[in-house]
């Protein structure tokens, strides 16, 4: 097997986050599901944008956020995702290149426009996300370069993107290419509603041994396994997934690999400002550690440190020097 060019190549939604603080009353007035992620159409996106206060545009997308964290930690990364030839597409492309991530997927000339996620952040730091998927739903298998996928040690797939037919086909092909090259496949379940829609597909991938590293939170774990008890859910998957990572928000995280189990507490945060991207950055820390051959516990610690950094400010991309922060925390 040749030495990998990239630590991770990811396939995910190419989204620009539009974030604004708001009151609890506005969440209720708009009929939003606080703390959740809801898909909206173009009309719904326009309505919600008009209801927002002053907003900040930040490139996002779950897998892209994870890569931004990994790149900040010194990992070599590449991203595959679909934008349109429009202003937000230019914003996304600029931002992902600016943090050192290779991104070569050609922009789409036709409608719909580049995806955007309208995020309302309440005073408690909870984020309520409303996503218009736009062009990101039209990533074709033809956009993949097999040699590039095969050149990454880990292929990382975003569950959110499993919903539309074209990118689902693209990800299935990417799995086959990665496994054919002897590389690892990592998968993040993304959200319980995705599992509700495509759980049979995900469970089949797991049963067929096509997932090497699985990221879930405690709610996704329950949805995927049908087990309401956290430990029962862990037990249902440990024999089927070589590396299982389950996060529990403020209660920390658990990982099981090859019969070895590790647990870490959540890193303390002076004030939770915005929980957007917490899971994404946890995955960034864990995957970076895993790619470097770190112990299971150390990978979890790196994930927890990165997640704590991102929830201490607005936005799903790191603002601190993650390499210095992780080195400091791990040596303490």
56, part of any domain? no
Statement: the pTM of the whole predicted model exceeds 0.85: yes
101, part of any domain? yes
Binned at pLDDT 50, 70 and 90, residue 17 comes out as: confident
44, part of any domain? no
Query: What 8-state DSSP symbol labels residue 267?
Result: P
Check whether 1 has a pLDDT greater than 70: no
47, part of any domain? no
Phi/psi at 152 (5° precision): -105, 140
Query: What CATH number does the domain containing 257 carry?
Result: 3.40.1190.20
Question: Nearest CA to 186 among 6, 4, 9, 38?
Answer: 9
**Residue 325: predicted pLDDT:** 95
List, for residues 165-201, the tens digit of each pLDDT value.
999 999 999 999 999 999 999 999 988 889 999 999 9
Question: Nearest CA to 284 among 75, 77, 67?
Answer: 67
| Residue 97 near residue 103 (C-beta atoms within 8 A) | yes
Instruction: Quote the number of domains for the chain.
Output: 1
Q: Work out the average pLDDT over 314-330.
A: 91
32, part of any domain? no
87, part of any domain? yes
Q: Work out the average pLDDT over 22-40.
A: 92
Range of the domain at 163: 6-14+61-113+135-331
45, part of any domain? no
25, part of any domain? no
Element spanning 244, H or E:
strand 243-247
Query: Rounded to an integer, what distance in angstroms lies between the CA atom of residue 175 and that of residue 302?
Result: 26
List, for residues 271-308, the tens digit of each pLDDT value.
888 888 899 999 999 999 999 999 999 999 999 999 99
């Amino acid at each position: 097997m040749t030495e990998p060019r990239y630590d991770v190549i990811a396939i995910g939604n190419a989204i620009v986050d539009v974030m604004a603080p708001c009151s609890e009353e506005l969440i209720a007035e708009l009929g939003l599901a606080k703390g959740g992620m809801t898909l909206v159409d173009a009309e719904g996106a326009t309505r919600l944008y008009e209801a927002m206060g002053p907003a900040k545009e930040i490139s996002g997308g779950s897998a892209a956020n994870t890569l931004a964290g990994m790149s900040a930690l010194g990992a070599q990364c590449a991203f595959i995702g679909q934008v349109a030839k429009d202003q937000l597409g230019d914003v996304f492309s600029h931002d992902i290149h600016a943090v050192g991530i290779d991104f070569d997927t050609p922009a789409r000339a036709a409608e719909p426009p580049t995806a955007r996620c309208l995020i309302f952040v309440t005073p408690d730091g909870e984020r309520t996300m409303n996503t218009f998927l736009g062009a990101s739903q039209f990533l074709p298998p033809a956009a993949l370069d097999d040699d590039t996928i095969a050149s990454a040690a880990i292929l990382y797939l975003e569950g959110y993107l499993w919903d539309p037919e074209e990118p689902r086909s693209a990800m299935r092909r990417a799995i086959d290419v990665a496994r054919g090259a002897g590389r690892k496949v990592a998968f993040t379940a993304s959200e319980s509603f995705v599992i509700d829609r495509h759980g049979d597909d995900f469970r089949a991938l797991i049963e067929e041994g096509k997932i090497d590293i699985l990221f879930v939170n405690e709610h996704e774990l329950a949805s995927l396994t049908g087990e309401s008890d956290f430990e029962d859910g862990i037990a249902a998957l440990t024999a089927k997934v070589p590396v299982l990572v389950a996060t529990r928000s403020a209660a920390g995280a658990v990982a099981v690999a090859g019969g070895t189990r590790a647990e870490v507490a959540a890193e303390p945060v002076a004030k939770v400002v915005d929980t957007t991207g917490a899971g994404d950055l946890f995955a960034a820390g864990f995957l970076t550690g895993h790619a470097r051959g770190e112990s299971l516990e150390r990978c979890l610690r790196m994930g927890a440190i990165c997640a704590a950094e991102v929830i201490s400010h607005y936005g799903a991309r790191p603002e601190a020097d993650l390499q210095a922060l992780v080195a400091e925390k791990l040596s303490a």
